[in-house]
A = this chain, B = another copy of it.
Amino acid sequence: MKKDMRQVNLRVEDMPARWYNIIPDLPEPLPPPEGDMTAMGKGMIKECLDQEFSPDNWIDIPEELQETYRQIGRPRPVFRATNLEKRLDTPAELYYKAEGLFSPTGSHKINTALAQAYYARKQGLERLVTETGAGQWGTALSCAARITGLAATVYWVRAVHRWKEARRLFMELYGAEVFASPSENTETGRGLLKKDPDHPGSLAIAISEGLEDALSDDKAAYVLGSVLNHVLLHQTIIGLECKKQMEAIDRYPDVVVSCLGGGSNFGGIALPFLGDALKKGTRTRFIAAQTQAAPNLQGEYRYDNADYSGITPRLKMYTLGHQKDMPPVYGDGLRYHGCSPILRLLRNKGYIDTVAYPTDEKYVFESAKVFLSEEGFLPAPESAYSIAAAIDQADECRKSGEKKVILFNVSGHGFMDMEGYRQVLQV
């Protein structure tokens, strides 16, 4: 036991060597995808497609990939937010995973980007194509491709591409080719631009464009940064590290909180603990922090497409509709119409709660500022939602007097997102 628990980290050699696959532990099988799998299957990395439907509970992280994880700073610390606890005058213990704060590209996305790049190179592919919303995933993929020796092409939601110039330069420094989406590069893009030359784009549209591009090149694969089972699988390293870290200080979370767009960072931290809830009956509460611009866990529970033009197979999910227009928010990574099939099933079975914050984002950015003022670290806009929900939980404990252990994920840093702070907080 440490003198204090301000920071808990693992030894480098204690980084988890396997990912946790929750699929075999789910209360019922995942409803199979509907529709034509050909395009999606053809565009995807084979090993990832296998992992997508794997019946195995544990999947080894290849030794070379483990080395790359160590290269980019894994394992990452869990911090106890002692100052924040004092400020909130709460009896709760607040712990946060510094997942994105120490990430080379600014978020947790690098975990799956490196895994997918590793498998793509092993398969003899030469280029990875993807979409990005907030820009975090596009940067992670650009970095992973470069480190692994592959080319990268990124379709970036135009509404965001427009004002995040520094992040675009960042991707290009890694050698990636970056298009504002809708772009003139694909049929989907050209069609939308004809109707509206200033079309703001969306994640779903960018996915359609990326898929179209990848399918036209034998040496390219289309890769996704969220939603799919194998992406969440790769991200479980976050929660697996957290479990070891909480064990080291003799704690177990009563509440696990994270922001949720497609579900990759939420799944990353929550799935290992959700596995305990399913198998051991632990009573942890799981809270997904969302934006009212895209409260996809509060949508309809039905089959829908992951992309705008319907190239992808249909997945059973809570959805707002795959052609839904959603107002822009700075936490753009949360602005997605659907959500991971694994998480929507667990939501449907009552394992996951959800809260959605107003689209003016004042409350979440104010929460981020409180966190910054007490703990020193600058969170990404998406992570601000996670922090807001953790603070809400701590406030409830203040009222009820409960000494809950609250674990939340800070999935990204905000060094490249100052514009959001400026606009929303009017500093």
Contact = CB atoms under 8 A, between A and B. Distances in A.
Nearest to A9: B12
A98 B71 contact: no
A300 to B, nearest CB: 39
Contacts of A11: 9, 11
Contacts of A421: 169, 173
Contacts of A280: none
Contact of A12 (B7, B374, B427): B7
Nearest to A13: B2
A373 interface: yes
A372 interface: yes
Given A147-B376, A421-B173, A71 B7 contact: yes
Given A7-B71, A13-B3, A70-B7, A418 B373 contact: no
Nearest to A12: B7
B4 A169 contact: no
Given A71-B7, A73-B77, A372 B174 contact: yes
A376 B72 contact: yes
A374 B104 CA distance: 12
A357 interface: no
A415 interface: yes
A375 B110 CA distance: 13
A194 interface: no
A71 B67 contact: no
Interface centre among A7, A175, A422, A425 (most CB of B within 10 A): A7
Contacts of A13: 2-3
A426 B242 CA distance: 42
Contacts of A165: 418
Contact of A73 (B12, B98, B146, B427): B98
A300 B9 CA distance: 47
Contacts of A418: 165-166, 169-170, 416
A261 interface: no
Contact of A376 (B104, B416, B422): B104
User: What's the number of copies of this chain in the assembled complex?
Assistant: 2
Contacts of A303: none
Contact of A174 (B73, B373, B422): B373
Contact of A169 (B2, B8, B422): B422
A109 interface: no
Contact of A372 (B70, B72, B173, B413): B173
A92 interface: no
A378 interface: yes
A5 to B, nearest CB: 9
Contact of A79 (B4, B71, B427): B71
B7 A169 contact: no
A101 interface: yes
A351 interface: no
A44 B105 CA distance: 39
Contacts of A427: 169, 172-173
Given A7-B70, A101-B104, A174-B373, 12 more contacts: A11-B11, A12-B77, A71-B376, A73-B98, A101-B102, A104-B377, A104-B378, A143-B376, A165-B418, A169-B422, A173-B372, A175-B373
12 contacts: A4-B67, A6-B12, A6-B71, A7-B12, A71-B375, A73-B77, A104-B376, A166-B418, A169-B418, A172-B427, A173-B372, A173-B378
User: Which 5 residue pairs of A and B lie closest in terms of their CB atoms, listed nearest first?
Assistant: A415-B415, A166-B418, A6-B70, A104-B376, A7-B70
